[in-house]
């Protein structure tokens, strides 16, 4: 048996039982630990470090000077001394605005005000020169005049400060939305030419993480924290457990490259810091509002003939902060001990749900009549009608008058025929042997409809569109839905003493929302990857809840030693249930066909998944609602961590520890309700997929025997050491190492994950469940020597970090900085989830082909092992890794601005392959079927031992199964039933491992100004993201999964050019005027955001598959393997490549980027319509850049101040998102323009490559805010 090394740092699984018990237990342990022991450890770094060197007028260093740091908001004081080198450090400083005072006997006091420290800043104060004199004499400078060098480290990061947060309007209320204007931040590839993040809909567990790629990394590499708490959803490494509300957030920092070893997360981290209270009371009350009355109508709605969706958004809220005072007592009477902040906001939303396009059966079709005429058929002839051929030996069917011929989707455009449909008899006098023939009418024979099929057809909504005017769709829906949420956040800061500080923050939010689509497959509409789709008969109720608590304790042990302890706990609960279950349950719908397996309360199961794999049938894809009528997920992320900071000479050295336990519990969401595919290509098909549904003829059927509720966890335990060494006044070097224990996902139910052992397969050995043997597969429950993780782990991953900052001239004007960092990050739960179900005995039946609904039943479920198995590689002990590096030249430019020109690059490897078709070790290689001795011996059926040769019509499933590398052993070819001819045979064997890789190189230019009447952030990125297609786990498949390198090309997240601009302009104040004029003229400001990104690679990101659904032909006269074609044959991977597992790719004859016309993005004339057997086409095309994205938002403000203080202000804001109402060109899901199809004459689909759709519209928002 395979033995795998296992390491365990800790296991506190009781934390998942009760969130509040866990919070109080760990909080008590934390503070006892902090006060009594003060051990070295580390957390998500949220505090800053401020350094400086004290000189006298001659330039000599001044030791033993007293340096005091004062928080200008709270009055909190911290004091230290300069050491023998004149060097001082304030470590673990909360982000805020500070005053620094330097004192020394016989010298004047030096003071600098308005020094801003942000999250994780490493700032150096320059220009501290003490002049001889009396201490009571003070030299005062403003922070803007003190050179606070923002380039003290080599990291690449961008800060969104409170000024930008409060004055630049974003579409939603999540401050993390600002990552859209970061350099190198690209939309992830999708059909729709827009961000997949729906910013206008505020909900728990939604956010931009998962919708953007930073510097070419996969979306799962982007992480997010709030006040040090880890708030990502570990099931997908996406979303946010907590909304980082823009009016409750003080700042947002995004670290994108080569940051220090003291950071627990990476390679890209969003760090949000919440607001806190100070010595003075401050607060605000506000309301945001958007209404459909003021919005423009989206082109998608116009195309469907819809008016503007009646969406409404209403966000009332308030927050207040200040000293915590108890009236009638002396508690905190000096306002210097305890401070508080509290904010709350209610999100009342009627959300625009997008537009759904689909083909649904008409009323006549539901009754069996597929011969409907168009509204104005040419010549007034019927559907179908027939004319004789020239020799009068046959009749030609004409369907141009048929209503269904205008549908989008080949599978639903055919006139159905066969034994279930009526025929007409026509004479053929030119054919004496057959004087008459029968031809279909497209009308069902009375009584031939299957009662269950009729019920399924009637689940769909009725048509409401003319397919001739809506790209072949006869149904569209632009409904709205309510999606409400309440959020509140509190924080208390306690200055226990001048050397000990504590703060605790808590965030709670819960939702009350409806979703009209499947919550697991994502949003629907025109641009969903689940499209075409329609709303469910009843919506899904979402009642999500999250709680996030953080505690931070900082203690200055002595002037050169500081310790910081951080505890956080994140709890996320995501229950979903149907609003009216009776509308979707088998029993209430009347569905009574037999299921393959016995399920408890099976009449309460919802109706089956229905799909046509994107070819006509509208998808209905909900699964997993059998568990108490709900689908849910629960996640907890407790962490304990600490920093110990030591200052010696000109070194600031940190040591630390970080521990986190990530828990994720959610159902597998398999199709216990069954999954049916209807398709016109199936055996027994009538020629129309909806007609097949009506008569109960399926193309494919599968069913899960039962669903499971995985409960997985992993442990993170890191140690680190890092040093910031100010080698000289002009040069700082940062270097460090992080030792990361990223424990593997572990099954806490005691079963483990399936692991693949080839030696066991050869010996016909393996684990078994319920008498079913799984040859080659082992897991902990079956073999205790196999770890619960299924795969290996490492004690530590080693992550070195190094950076430098070189002030070239010692003035802070020109700085060179750069660095390198290695970051390992953890797989999301989805990676290992596929290897779990079978160890519990939960697996799908084999895919049953060409069955009728009436024939389904337990007799077809006699399979012993599933036809497809997913397992882990027991020798794989890797986690994804990114190495990032940058080199930057920074120049202080006029108007107090900074210009930076940088090279930024990254290399990622050990990326998982869980969501693509790579490492399917039972795949059939190119040419295998041509040379296989697996075809039936016609003289000795059912023996499959004859050479297959070239079969232009393809190979039967048994021959294919026999040709697979793992057909031997317990596999018994052709000995089963017609429905399951190959019992115990592995159809596919997917091995999850970490072999994918990518790289990114870019030029990034930023120009930022954050002071004065005009402030702005602007950046431009010229970059290239390359790697193995499908490396992002986005569900796209590699063209040739048998040769990894052959799939190397431009990635879906590649956006060659990215430009962003955010700005705020405050109009000059009028002073010399009367009160009325000043009131009208003053207080005006404008702000906005402008974005541009070039389009994604259409082959990598937009095409349904890498060959654009290529349909070509083998020409007549072709000779191959001793056969010569007498007529053209439609090409397939079987008759051209001799395999079922590798896509047939078209051959290029010229550059498809050349010779383009208006709105054309691919020149289809560059693809050959003809193919040659045995030869593959081009797997990777030249980068086919799709439509670019452009958006510009603008806000107009009017501020009224009251009294002498500008802090009392009434603000009116009017914002326009996409205010110029500029729609962007886009493709849509199942777009006929993405089908590279030729007919037998070599004529190309005339729409191919043209983007005829547009998307995007103006949204108007108003806001009123009173602040004091």
pLDDT at 1032: 59
E strand residue ranges, 201-333: 212-214, 222-226, 229-230, 249-257, 268-274, 282-291, 312-323
Coil, strand, or helix at residue 1100? helix
Q: Across residues 212-232, what is the average pLDDT?
A: 94
Q: Which two tokens stand for residue 269?
A: 């981290």
Least confident stretch, 53-62, 86-95, 116-125: 116-125
Q: Which two tokens stand for residue 769?
A: 């469940």
Coil, strand, or helix at residue 834? coil
* pLDDT beyond 50 at 314: yes
CA distance 745 to 788: 8
Coil, strand, or helix at residue 267? coil
CA distance 456 to 1127: 40
Please report the DSSP string for 650-702 in residue order: TEEEEEEEEEEEEEEE------TT-EEE--TTSTT--S-HHHHHHHTB-SEEE
DSSP 8-state class, residue 1099: I
Q: Which residue from 997, 1088, 1083 is spatially nearest to 1048, judged by alpha carbons?
A: 997
* pLDDT beyond 80 at 628: no
For residue 1075, the surrounding DSSP H or E stretch is helix 1075-1081
Q: Provide the pLDDT confidence category of residue 45 given band limits of 50, 70 and 90.
A: low
**Dihedral sign, Cα of residue 959, residue 960, residue 963, residue 965:** negative
Q: Provide the pLDDT confidence category of residue 1153 given band limits of 50, 70 and 90.
A: very high
Task: Answer for the pair 790, 767: CB distance below 8 angstroms, yes or no.
Answer: no
Q: Which two tokens stand for residue 112?
A: 């600098």
Task: Answer for the pair 1167, 1160: CB distance below 8 angstroms, yes or no.
Answer: no
Q: Which two tokens stand for residue 913?
A: 């392959």
Q: Provide the pLDDT confidence category of residue 469 given band limits of 50, 70 and 90.
A: confident
Coil, strand, or helix at residue 469? helix
The burial of 1212, by beta-carbon neighbours within 10 Å (0-12 exposed, 13-18 middle, 19 or more buried), is given as middle
CB atoms closer than 10 angstroms to residue 617: 29
C-alpha dist (Å) from residue 586 to 498, 722, 868:
68, 61, 28
Distance of CA 194 to the CA centre of its chain: 14
Tell me if the domain spanning 48-150 has CATH number 2.60.40.1120: yes
More confident site: 78 or 39: 78
Q: Which residue from 761, 767, 760 is spatially nearest to 968, judged by alpha carbons?
A: 761
pLDDT at 383: 92
Convert 1061-1085 into a string of H (helix), E (strand) and C (coil): EEEEEECCCCCCCCHHHHHHHCCEE
* pLDDT beyond 60 at 240: yes
φ, ψ at 445 (rounded to 5°): -70, 135
CB atoms closer than 10 angstroms to residue 564: 28
Q: In the chain, what are the domain boundaries?
A: 48-150, 366-476, 1051-1267
The tens digit of pLDDT for each residue in 878-897 reads: 999 999 999 999 999 988 89
Q: Which two tokens stand for residue 406?
A: 């205008």
DSSP 8-state class, residue 16: G
The burial of 2, by beta-carbon neighbours within 10 Å (0-12 exposed, 13-18 middle, 19 or more buried), is given as middle
Q: Which two tokens stand for residue 638?
A: 């407790």
φ, ψ at 776 (rounded to 5°): 85, -5
Least confident stretch, 255-259, 428-432, 440-444, 603-607: 428-432
* pLDDT beyond 70 at 508: yes
* pLDDT beyond 70 at 835: yes
The tens digit of pLDDT for each residue in 804-817 reads: 999 998 888 899 99
CB atoms closer than 10 angstroms to residue 3: 11
Q: Which residue from 897, 404, 929 is spatially nearest to 686, judged by alpha carbons?
A: 404
DSSP 8-state class, residue 1129: E
Q: Provide the pLDDT confidence category of residue 1203 given band limits of 50, 70 and 90.
A: confident
Coil, strand, or helix at residue 175? helix
* pLDDT beyond 70 at 149: no
Looking at every residue in the chain, the average pLDDT score rounds to: 87
1147-1178 burial code (b ≥16 CB/10 A, e <16):
beeeebeeeeeeebbbbbebbbbebebeebbb
User: Whole-model pTM?
Assistant: 0.87
CA distance 689 to 654: 66
CA distance 491 to 321: 9
CA distance 17 to 966: 44
CB atoms closer than 10 angstroms to residue 896: 12
Q: Provide the pLDDT confidence category of residue 865 given band limits of 50, 70 and 90.
A: low
Task: Answer for the pair 697, 852: CB distance below 8 angstroms, yes or no.
Answer: yes
* pLDDT beyond 50 at 909: yes
Q: Across residues 281-290, what is the average pLDDT?
A: 96
- Of the chain, the percentage scoring pLDDT greater than 70 comes to 90
Q: Which two tokens stand for residue 947?
A: 């050479």
* pLDDT beyond 80 at 863: no
Q: Provide the pLDDT confidence category of residue 751 given band limits of 50, 70 and 90.
A: very high
pLDDT at 151: 54
Q: Across residues 156-173, what is the average pLDDT?
A: 91
Q: Provide the pLDDT confidence category of residue 984 given band limits of 50, 70 and 90.
A: low
pLDDT at 252: 93
Task: Answer for the pair 95, 56: CB distance below 8 angstroms, yes or no.
Answer: no
Least confident stretch, 297-306, 445-454, 819-828: 297-306
Coil, strand, or helix at residue 632? coil
The tens digit of pLDDT for each residue in 1046-1055 reads: 999 999 999 9
Q: Across residues 1081-1091, what is the average pLDDT?
A: 95
Q: Across residues 1125-1136, what is the average pLDDT?
A: 94
φ, ψ at 299 (rounded to 5°): -55, -30
* pLDDT beyond 90 at 720: yes
pLDDT at 35: 38
* pLDDT beyond 90 at 521: no
Q: Across residues 1022-1040, what is the average pLDDT?
A: 78
């Amino acid at each position: 048996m395979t033995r795998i090394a296992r390491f365990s740092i800790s296991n506190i699984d009781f934390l998942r039982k009760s969130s509040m018990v866990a919070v109080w237990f760990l909080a008590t342990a934390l503070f006892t630990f902090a006060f009594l022991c003060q051990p070295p450890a580390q957390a998500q770094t949220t505090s800053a470090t401020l350094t400086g060197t004290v000189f006298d007028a001659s330039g000599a260093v001044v030791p033993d000077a007293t340096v005091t740091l004062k928080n200008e908001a709270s009055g909190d004081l911290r004091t230290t001394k300069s050491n023998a080198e004149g060097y001082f450090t304030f470590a673990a400083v909360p982000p805020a605005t500070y005053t620094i005072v330097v004192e020394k006997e016989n010298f004047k006091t030096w003071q600098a005000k308005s020094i801003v420290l942000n999250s994780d800043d490493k700032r150096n104060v320059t220009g501290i020169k003490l002049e001889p004199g009396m201490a009571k004499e003070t030299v005062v400078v403003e922070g803007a005049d003190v050179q606070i060098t923002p380039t003290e480290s080599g990291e690449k990061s961008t800060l969104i400060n409170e000024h930008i947060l409060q004055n630049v309007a974003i579409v939603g209320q999540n401050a993390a939305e600002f990552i859209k204007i970061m350099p190198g931040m690209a939309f992830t590839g999708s059909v729709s030419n827009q961000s997949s993040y729906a910013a206008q809909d505020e909900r728990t567990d939604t956010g931009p993480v998962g919708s953007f790629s930073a510097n070419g990394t996969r979306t799962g590499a982007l992480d997010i924290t709030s006040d040090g708490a880890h708030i990502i959803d570990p099931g997908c490494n996406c979303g946010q457990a907590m909304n980082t509300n823009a009016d409750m957030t003080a700042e947002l920092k995004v670290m994108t490259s080569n940051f220090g070893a003291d950071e627990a997360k990476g390679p890209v981290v969003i760090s949000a810091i919440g607001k806190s209270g100070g010595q003075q009371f401050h607060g605000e009350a506000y309301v945001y509002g958007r209404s459909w009355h003021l919005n423009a109508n989206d082109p998608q709605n116009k195309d469907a003939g819809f008016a503007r969706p009646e969406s409404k958004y209403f966000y009332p809220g308030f927050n207040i902060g200040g000293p915590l005072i108890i009236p009638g007592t002396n508690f905190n009477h000096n306002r210097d001990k305890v401070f508080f902040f509290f904010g709350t906001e209610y999100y009342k939303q009627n959300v625009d749900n997008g537009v759904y396009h689909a083909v649904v059966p008409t009323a006549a079709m539901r009754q069996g009549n597929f011969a409907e005429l168009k509204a104005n058929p040419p010549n007034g002839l019927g559907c179908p009608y027939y004319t004789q051929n020239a020799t009068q030996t046959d009749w030609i069917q004409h369907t141009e008058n048929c209503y269904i011929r205008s549908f989008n989707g080949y599978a639903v455009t055919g006139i159905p025929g066969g034994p279930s449909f009526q025929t007409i008899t026509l004479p053929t006098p030119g054919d004496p042997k057959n004087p008459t023939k029968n031809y279909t009418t497209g009308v069902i024979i009375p009584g031939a409809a299957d009662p269950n099929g009729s019920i399924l057809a009637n689940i769909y909504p009725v048509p409401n569109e003319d397919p001739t005017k809506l790209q072949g769709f006869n149904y569209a829906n632009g409904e709205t839905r309510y999606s409400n949420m309440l959020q509140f956040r509190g924080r208390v800061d306690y200055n226990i003493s001048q050397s000990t500080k504590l703060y605790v923050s808590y965030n709670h939010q819960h939702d009350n929302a409806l979703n009209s689509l499947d919550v697991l497959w994502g949003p629907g509409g025109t641009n969903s990857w689940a499209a075409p789709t329609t709303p469910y008969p009843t919506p899904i109720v979402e009642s999500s809840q999250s709680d996030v608590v953080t505690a931070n304790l900082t203690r200055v042990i002595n002037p050169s030693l500081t310790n910081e302890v951080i505890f956080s706990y994140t709890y996320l609960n995501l229950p979903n249930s149907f609003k009216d279950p009776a509308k979707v349950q088998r029993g209430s719908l009347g569905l009574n066909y037999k299921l393959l397996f016995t399920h408890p309360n099976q009449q309460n199961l919802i109706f089956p998944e229905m799909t046509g794999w994107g070819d006509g049938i509208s998808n209905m894809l909900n699964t997993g609602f059998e568990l108490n009528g709900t689908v849910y997920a629960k996640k907890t992320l407790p962490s304990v961590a600490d920093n110990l900071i030591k200052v010696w000479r000109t070194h600031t050295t940190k040591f630390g520890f970080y521990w986190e336990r990530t828990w994720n519990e959610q159902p597998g969401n398999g199709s216990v309700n069954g999954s049916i595919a209807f398709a016109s290509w199936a055996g027994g098909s009538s020629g129309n997929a909806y007609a097949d549904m009506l008569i109960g003829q399926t193309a494919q059927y599968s069913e899960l025997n039962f669903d499971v509720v995985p409960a997985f966890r992993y442990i993170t335990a890191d140690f680190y050491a890092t040093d910031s060494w100010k080698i000289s006044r002009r040069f700082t070097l940062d270097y460090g190492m992080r030792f990361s224990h990223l424990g593997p996902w572990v099954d806490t139910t005691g079963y483990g994950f399936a692991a693949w052992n080839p030696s066991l397969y050869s010996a016909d050995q393996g684990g078994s469940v319920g008498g079913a043997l799984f040859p080659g597969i082992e897991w902990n429950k079956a073999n205790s020597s196999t770890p619960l993780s299924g795969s290996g782990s490492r004690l530590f991953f080693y992550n070195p970090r190094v950076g430098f900052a070189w002030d070239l001239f010692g003035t802070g004007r020109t700085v060179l900085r750069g660095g390198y960092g290695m970051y390992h990050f953890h797989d999301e739960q989805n990676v290992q989830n596929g290897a779990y179900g079978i160890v519990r005995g939960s697996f799908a039946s084999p895919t049953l082909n060409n069955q009728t609904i009436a024939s389904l039943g337990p007799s077809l479920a006699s399979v012993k092992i599933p036809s497809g198995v997913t397992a882990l590689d027991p020798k794989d002990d890797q986690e994804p890794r990114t190495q990032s590096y940058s080199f930057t030249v920074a120049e202080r430019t006029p108007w107090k601005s900074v210009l930076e020109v940088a090279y930024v690059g990254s290399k990622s490897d050990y990326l998982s392959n869980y969501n693509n078709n790579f490492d399917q070790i039972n795949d059939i290689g190119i040419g295998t079927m041509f040379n296989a001795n697996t075809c039936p011996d016609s003289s000795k059926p059912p023996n499959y031992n004859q050479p297959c040769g070239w079969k232009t019509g393809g190979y039967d499933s048994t021959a294919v199964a026999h040709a697979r590398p793992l057909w031997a052993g317990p596999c018994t070819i052709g000995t089963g039933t017609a429905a399951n001819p190959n019992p115990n045979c592995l159809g596919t064997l997917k091995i999850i491992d970490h072999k994918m890789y990518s790289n990114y190189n870019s030029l990034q230019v930023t120009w930022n100004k954050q002071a004065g009447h005009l402030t702005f952030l602007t950046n431009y990125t010229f970059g290239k993201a390359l790697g193995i297609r499908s490396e992002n786990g986005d569900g796209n498949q590699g063209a040739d999964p048998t040769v990894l390198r052959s799939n190397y090309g431009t990635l879906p997240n590649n956006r060659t050019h990215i430009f962003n601009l955010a700005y705020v302009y405050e109009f000059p104040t009028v002073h010399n005027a009367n009160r009325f004029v000043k009131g009208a003229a003053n207080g005006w400001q404008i702000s906005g955001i402008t974005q541009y990104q070039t389009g994604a690679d259409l082959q990598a990101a937009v095409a349904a598959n890498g060959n654009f659904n290529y349909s070509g032909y083998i020409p007549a006269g072709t000779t191959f393997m001793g056969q010569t074609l007498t007529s053209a044959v439609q090409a397939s991977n079987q008759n051209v490549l001799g395999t079922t597992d590798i896509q047939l790719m078209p051959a290029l004859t010229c550059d498809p980027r050349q010779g383009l016309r208006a709105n054309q993005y691919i020149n289809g004339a560059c693809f050959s319509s003809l193919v040659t057997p045995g030869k593959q086409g081009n797997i990777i095309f030249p980068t086919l850049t799709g439509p670019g994205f452009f958006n510009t938002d603008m806000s107009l403000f009017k501020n009224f101040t009251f009294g002498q203080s500008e802090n009392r202000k009434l603000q009116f804001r009017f914002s326009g998102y996409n205010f110029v109402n500029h729609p962007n060109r886009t493709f849509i899901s199942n777009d006929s323009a993405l089908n590279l199809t030729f007919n037998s004459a070599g004529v190309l689909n005339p729409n191919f490559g043209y983007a005829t759709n547009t998307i995007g519209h103006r949204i108007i928002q108003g806001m009123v805010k009173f602040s004091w």
